[in-house]
Amino acid sequence: MTAEPSAELAARAAEQHIVVIGGGIGGLIAARECAKVGMRVTLIEAETALGGSIRSAELDGIIVDAGAESFATRGGHVRALIDQLGLGDRVVAPEGGGAWLSGNPDAPDSPLPVGGLLGIPANPFQEDVRAIIGWRGVWRAYLDRLRPPLTIGHERSLGKLVRTRMGSRVHDRLVAPVTAGVYSALPGDVDTDVAAPGLNAALTRVGSLSGAVMALLGDRAEKTGKAPGSAVLGLNGGMGRLVDALREDLQKYGVEVRTATRATALVRAGTNWMVQCTSEADAAEPALEPESEPEPADETPPPLSATAVIVATAEPAARMLLDPHVTDLGDASPAPEIEIVTLLLDAPELDPAPRGSGVLTVPGSHIAKALTHSTAKWGWLRGAAGGRHLVRVSFGTQGEAAATATLDDDAAAQLGLSEASALLGVDLRPQQLVAAHRARFVQAQPTSLIGAAERRTAARQAVQKTPGLAVVGAWVSGTGLAQVIPDAAAEADRLRGQLLWD
């Protein structure tokens, strides 16, 4: 294809009006990519703030992450964006030591073993592994060395693979807490090849699951030049800084951003689209001394006319908009409802960080799924807290509603305090609670679930058959910024090409 003159291409871009529905990270990236080539872009978001799962909250003057608090370094996509936005000097690594495990019958509170993969130990005789699974579990796990190897791809379910090779204690006490904490899913539902690429192949090559883990960790260390460890980073000041920087960038490109505006329907208008909306904002408060009666707020903004629409909402809202126009979307995927209760505590007894950077729980042993000791994990937050402590208590997982779902905010905070006390091994009293914040999320189906990749691919392909329509976000890209960001950029690029070249 011969490239068109840049002036003609710019003129064609200027004729396009892209409406992006949803102001999470996927929507912000898609809007930015379209605006960069000169397209007119309007972004609408139902909430009063942008960011989606990246949320900030203020607790007694301290700005904290109420949603995602870090990003995975794999692929380098998130770090590249952060550098482009001038935030490179704000990147920080977690501190506070490793996580602990709570709820194990033999050792109720133990450091999570090092040197494993998704909780699968490379050496079941390792002291910190033995403390959790006991000698009975150790010898059962050792039988893995005596069993015949599997063929490549033979076992898709991580839970079945672990239980068959190394026994129930490794499965229940080591792997299940990790998959529940990382993926909000039990091991039996996790796709081995997605969560641990290369593990099945290494098992066939080496002959045992523990040996395969050791081989994979060795390969990774050789490639990166680093010992295996946590591959996440954060931002000084919180991940909300990324949202703020993206919004400023959109303003530079002339993107119109409308918050508190919910898309209710898409209507085909010839080759264009009409996006019907309602205002989600509360009626404007009158001035203290109004000169006249205020005009009633118009709750129904006029429809937006667009040459193309990018749907960047969570799955339920996206399906409501797409269903009338897209066939073969497939069935909706079950998505866990997660709640995070953040507590600001005046508790000097937490100064020694008694559970390192946080705690994972053996499924069924606690009401909470996990806890993060944020002021132990992030040095910048420890400084901002001025001697006080911030902890985040997570509730809910795949197939299990959050225990806080039916509680009011005060009761949710008290339950969070009770669980934090149990998980941290410290008697935290109600009078030590300075402030609390509660955030609720409908999490996209975890990337690693069996069948999730096929469902995402089918939904994306179904949408792409409709000209002038695209979809981005975690429910089609997979969860996590490391997947959402490059996927949103690629899908926006596909739509740009369709509009400018086809």
Asked if 185 contacts 175 with a C-beta cutoff of 8 angstroms, the reply is: no
Tell me where in the chain the CATH 1.10.3110.10 domain(s) lie: 107-224
Return the pLDDT at 223: 60
Return the pLDDT at 1: 38
pLDDT in tens, 443-501: 777 778 888 888 899 999 999 999 999 999 999 998 889 999 999 999 999 999 999 87
Whether pLDDT at 279 is above 80: yes
pLDDT in tens, 299-315: 678 999 999 999 999 99
**What is the helix (H) or strand (E) element at residue 451, kind and residue range?**
none
Q: Which of 64-73, 362-371, 398-407 has the lowest mean pLDDT?
A: 398-407
The Cα 377–Cα 299 span in angstroms is 44
Q: What percentage of the chain exceeds 90 in pLDDT?
A: 66
> Pairing mode, if any, of strands 261-269 and 272-279?
antiparallel
CB half-sphere exposure, 256, CA atoms < 13 A: 10
Asked if 358 contacts 373 with a C-beta cutoff of 8 angstroms, the reply is: yes
CA atoms 48, 49, 52, 53: torsion sign: negative
Please report where in the chains the tokens 């550098």 appear, as a residue: 83
Q: Quick one: which of 185, 213, 203 has its CA closest to 113?
A: 213
Give percent helix, percent strand, percent coil of the chain, each to the nearest 5.
40, 20, 40
Return the pLDDT at 292: 44
Tell me where in the chain the CATH 3.90.660.20 domain(s) lie: 336-442
The Cα 386–Cα 375 span in angstroms is 10
Return the pLDDT at 280: 75
The Cα 200–Cα 206 span in angstroms is 10
The highest-level CATH class for domain 6-49+241-332+447-501 is alpha beta
Q: Confidence band (pLDDT; 50, 70, 90) for 182?
A: confident
The Cα 181–Cα 376 span in angstroms is 18
Q: Domain spanning 336-442 has what CATH number?
A: 3.90.660.20
Q: Quick one: which of 440, 441, 447, 439 has its CA closest to 475?
A: 447
Tell me where in the chain the CATH 3.50.50.60 domain(s) lie: 6-49+241-332+447-501
At 346, give phi and psi (nearest 5°).
-95, 85
Return the pLDDT at 288: 36
Please report where in the chains the tokens 């069993």 appear, as a residue: 147
The Cα 52–Cα 7 span in angstroms is 36
Return the pLDDT at 287: 35
* Strand order from edge to edge, sheet including 91-92: 71-72, 232-235, 91-92
Question: With the CA atoms of 289, 294, 299 and 305 taken in that order, what torsion angle do they form, in degrees rounded to the nearest 10?
Answer: -110
Q: Pick from 20-29, 172-181, 205-214, 445-454 the range whose average pLDDT is largest.
A: 20-29
**Which architecture, in CATH terms, is 107-224?**
Orthogonal Bundle (1.10)
pLDDT in tens, 326-337: 998 888 776 678
The Cα 445–Cα 456 span in angstroms is 10
pTM score of the predicted model? 0.89
**What is the helix (H) or strand (E) element at residue 61, kind and residue range?**
none
Whether pLDDT at 396 is above 50: yes
Whether pLDDT at 411 is above 70: yes
